[in-house]
Amino acid sequence: MRIGAIEAGGTKIVCGIGNEHGGIEERVSFPTEQPERSLSKIISYFEGKGVEAIGIGTFGPINLDSESESYGCVTTTPKPGWSGFPFLGTLKAAFDIPFGWDTDVNAAAYGEAIWGAAKGLDSCVYYTIGTGIGVGIYSESKLVHGLVHPEGGHIRTRRHADDSFAGICPYHGDCLEGMAAGPAIERRFGIKASELHVDHKAWELEAYYIAEALTTAILMLSPKKIILGGGVMHQKQLFPLIRAKVQQSLNGYVSSDSLLADMDNYIVPPGLGDNAGLCGALALGLAALERT
């Protein structure tokens, strides 16, 4: 079985082909450019590859309402040229096969639930913390949608008492993404996050904002696993800081051994590593094929 997978991020697009066991057999990546050029490259890659379905996990926001005229479009993204673009429709016009369509973070959550760190569980929350912050939610063995889809990167967080940074989100200023995404770290300290020393004070502040968000997720969604991915989370020193701050924030209120005694196995990096998004897109394609 050959299933196509597309992980469309704000800075690069990864396309691959895998199998029903979650194995990625080949891949290619290229920068995210204007939509027409990007989609032309995607179509060229899959032509003649004999894939039976394609799963798409993309940056958003996107339209997931299949009854809507703009279903399959990117919506209010600030990325030039992409707002209103018919991403899914362009691919459907090129290939007469089933398609899975969701956000990149929902795809990653799905991949982790099927093959990764949350395998065997009926719920998890996946955060990607990088150029932006996104949240994917898998609950009661299905991905969460609603009016649109989860936008947990834009929740408001309690400001740290010693932080006067205004935030960089063009929509909300000091939301989670505005305070804790990679560009926010760089703007606040004048240096890229990847170049900061592991003992820099930035990480204590970063852990605080992430822990605030995770506390909200635990109280609202009660997930059985929280998975933290994205470029910022390559800073492994963040994990113990975040776990400790979540426990401090909850203050023993939620009675669960996972939170009280096994936090190291509750807030974790992706089991699929940097393949979480692409494997998740693969899982979306496989699910679309199974529905036909």
Residue range 11-65, pLDDT digits in tens: 899 999 999 999 999 999 999 999 999 999 999 999 999 999 999 999 989 999 9
- In this prediction, residue 31 carries a pLDDT of 96
Higher pLDDT, 211 or 170: 211
Share of the chain above pLDDT 70, in %: 100
Contact assessment for residue 205 and residue 160, using Cβ atoms and an 8 Å cutoff: yes
The residue assigned the tokens 């809507």 is 68
The mean pLDDT of 216-240, rounded to a whole number, is 97
Neighbours of 37 (CB within 10 A): 13
The mean pLDDT of 193-204, rounded to a whole number, is 95
Q: Which two tokens stand for residue 216?
A: 């909200």
H helical segments located in the chain: 35-46, 87-94, 104-115, 176-180, 182-189, 201-221, 238-250, 257-260, 276-291
Reported as a pLDDT band with limits 50, 70 and 90, residue 79 is confident
- In this prediction, residue 260 carries a pLDDT of 85
Q: What domains can be seen in the chain, in order of their start residue? A: 3-104+274-291 (3.30.420.40), 117-269 (3.30.420.40)
Contact assessment for residue 60 and residue 77, using Cβ atoms and an 8 Å cutoff: yes
Q: Which contiguous run of DSSP H or E holds residue 28?
A: strand 24-31
Contact assessment for residue 63 and residue 51, using Cβ atoms and an 8 Å cutoff: no
Query: What's the CA gap between 204 and 75, in Å, rounded?
Result: 34
